[in-house]
């Protein structure tokens, strides 16, 4: 099939009411549904750590609960929600399946961005099917050029989380005429390279995407600046500063995985009476162990409370103000840094209690520890003042080189 014929079937203009939308999910119902399916999701988290991809049954479960419609528009049964809903869903899911929660946050961000373009990725889905998206920004080599009423795209994008099950992707490129642009295209049009090799979050399938001379219609391309804080957007997520709500969702993954790690440390225990004879001098080690475990749990709970409050405050400001004031953005980024630091300190405290058991493969302790560290070291959560697009580009450039 010729490229132009592929485009005719893959790309569709935005239409209203093309299908009967599913019911809009209620967040509380979603959270209860996740807990009810905890065993399935925990088992898939263990399996995906080995296979490098989330299982189809787990993905279908998240679809059924509406986890991929949090930032989708209402016309397709989406919640059109903001940062708080993404954070709360991420907190709940990451306690069970950190990699799936990471992909949900990434997909939510790309789904919001997709609403800025004329192409409608929902139009080609089967009845009852939910949209899942991946993508990557910060390519150092991606270029796009106009060819008549189309654009020709060539480039490479690293760490496209969720590429295994996504139907569509948003990527960035440099255009000599328009500057930096974002475009949307079906994942089947891209080459997905099996490049994801990570100590943690192995199940995210954060592979590399590559395009070589792909033609995309003009409606699938938009200047990057036009995706930033769309104040009139139906979806609240789009009214927020770009990247910041995504960083908050990723921070929630760290807290949820850390909470699961704390529960596993408590379940396994670490105090051995044989190691500490009753006659030994000094504090009772069992008491010290319990105290350290309690302090780690308290730190994670405090970080969670602050993160939820920050997300709710950002959403509230988007409802009442014409734009998020720079002072509020700075304060939110600064406090997000505190959330990340406090989470990291709690995880380190847990590591001290678990000891070298954290280094073992095929254990819950090892997997959760690796997942926590992968999230906390991601560029979206460093430095403490928040994640800027310049840092994003540098991160992906480094990945592409090595």
Predicted confidence at residue 398, as pLDDT, reads 55
CA pair distance 298, 218, nearest whole angstrom = 52
| 69-126 pLDDT per residue, tens | 999 999 999 999 999 999 999 999 999 999 999 999 999 999 999 999 999 999 988 8
Predicted confidence at residue 157, as pLDDT, reads 96
Predicted confidence at residue 3, as pLDDT, reads 40
Question: Looking up tokens 């949307």, which residue turns up?
Answer: 184
Which residues, including other chains, have CB under 8 Å from residue 243's CB and lie 6 or more apart? 380, 386, 387, 388, 389, 392
| Cα–Cα separations (whole angstroms), residue 394 to 248, 278, 337, 391 | 20, 55, 20, 5
CA pair distance 342, 390, nearest whole angstrom = 25
The domains of the chain, with CATH numbers, are 236-401 (1.20.140.10)
Predicted confidence at residue 1, as pLDDT, reads 33
Q: What is the pTM of this model?
A: 0.90
Predicted confidence at residue 113, as pLDDT, reads 94
Predicted confidence at residue 140, as pLDDT, reads 86
Predicted confidence at residue 146, as pLDDT, reads 95
CA pair distance 20, 97, nearest whole angstrom = 31
DSSP class per residue in 104-140: HHHHHHHHHHHTTSSB-TTTTSPTTPPP-EEEE---S
* N-terminal to C-terminal alpha carbon distance within the chain: 35
| Cα–Cα separations (whole angstroms), residue 142 to 183, 242, 261, 364 | 11, 21, 39, 39
Predicted confidence at residue 13, as pLDDT, reads 57
| 247-294 pLDDT per residue, tens | 999 999 999 999 999 999 999 876 555 444 555 556 777 788 888 999
Give just the sign of the alpha carbon dihedral 223, 225, 230, 235.
Answer: positive
Cite the beta strand spans of 24-176 per DSSP E. 133-136, 143-147, 150-160, 168-175
pLDDT in tens, the chain (402 residues): 334 444 545 676 554 445 678 899 999 999 999 999 999 999 999 999 999 999 999 999 999 999 999 999 999 999 999 999 999 999 999 999 999 999 999 999 999 999 999 999 999 888 878 999 999 998 889 999 999 999 999 999 999 999 999 999 999 999 999 999 999 999 999 999 999 988 899 999 999 999 999 999 999 999 998 887 787 788 999 999 888 999 999 999 999 999 999 999 999 876 555 444 555 556 777 788 888 999 999 999 999 999 999 999 999 999 887 778 889 988 999 899 999 999 999 999 999 898 888 888 889 999 999 999 999 988 788 754 444 544 455 555 555 565
Output the CA torsion 19→23→24→29 (10° steps): -150
């Amino acid at each position: 099939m010729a490229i132009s014929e592929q485009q005719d079937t893959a790309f569709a203009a935005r239409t209203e009411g093309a299908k009967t939308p599913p019911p809009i999910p209620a967040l509380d119902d979603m959270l209860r549904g996740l807990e009810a399916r905890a065993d399935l999701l925990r088992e898939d988290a263990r399996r995906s750590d080995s296979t490098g991809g989330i299982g189809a049954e787990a993905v279908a479960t998240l679809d059924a609960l509406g986890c991929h419609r949090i930032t989708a528009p209402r016309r397709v049964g989406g919640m059109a929600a903001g940062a708080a809903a993404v954070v709360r869903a991420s907190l709940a899911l990451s306690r069970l399946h950190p990699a799936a929660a990471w992909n949900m946050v990434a997909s939510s961000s790309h789904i919001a961005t997709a609403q800025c373009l004329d192409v409608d990725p929902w139009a080609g889905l089967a009845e009852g099917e939910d949209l899942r998206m991946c993508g990557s920004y910060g390519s150092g080599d991606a270029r796009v050029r106009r060819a008549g009423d189309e654009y020709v795209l060539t480039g490479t994008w690293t760490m496209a989380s969720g590429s295994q099950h996504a139907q569509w992707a948003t990527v960035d490129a440099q255009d000599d005429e328009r500057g930096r642009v974002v475009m949307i295209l079906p994942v089947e049009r891209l080459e997905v390279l099996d490049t994801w090799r990570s100590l943690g979050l192995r199940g995210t399938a954060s592979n590399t995407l590559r395009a070589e001379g792909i033609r995309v219609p003009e409606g699938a391309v938009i200047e990057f600046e036009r995706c930033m804080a769309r104040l009139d957007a139906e979806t609240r997520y789009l009214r927020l500063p770009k990247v910041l709500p995504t960083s908050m969702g990723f921070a929630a993954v760290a807290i949820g995985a850390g909470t699961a790690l704390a529960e596993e440390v408590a379940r396994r225990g670490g105090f051995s009476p044989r190691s500490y004879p009753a006659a030994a001098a000094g504090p009772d080690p069992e008491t010290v162990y319990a105290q350290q475990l309690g302090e780690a749990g308290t730190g994670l709970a405090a970080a969670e409370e602050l993160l939820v409050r920050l997300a709710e405050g950002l959403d509230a400001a988007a409802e009442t103000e014409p734009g998020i004031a720079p002072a509020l953005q700075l304060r939110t980024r600064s406090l997000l840094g505190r959330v990340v630091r406090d989470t990291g300190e709690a995880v380190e405290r847990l590591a001290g209690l678990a000891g070298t058991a954290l280094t073992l493969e095929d254990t819950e302790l090892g997997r959760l520890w690796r997942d926590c560290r992968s999230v906390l070291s991601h560029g979206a959560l460093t430095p403490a003042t928040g994640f800027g697009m310049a840092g994003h580009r540098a991160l992906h450039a480094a990945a592409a080189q090595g």
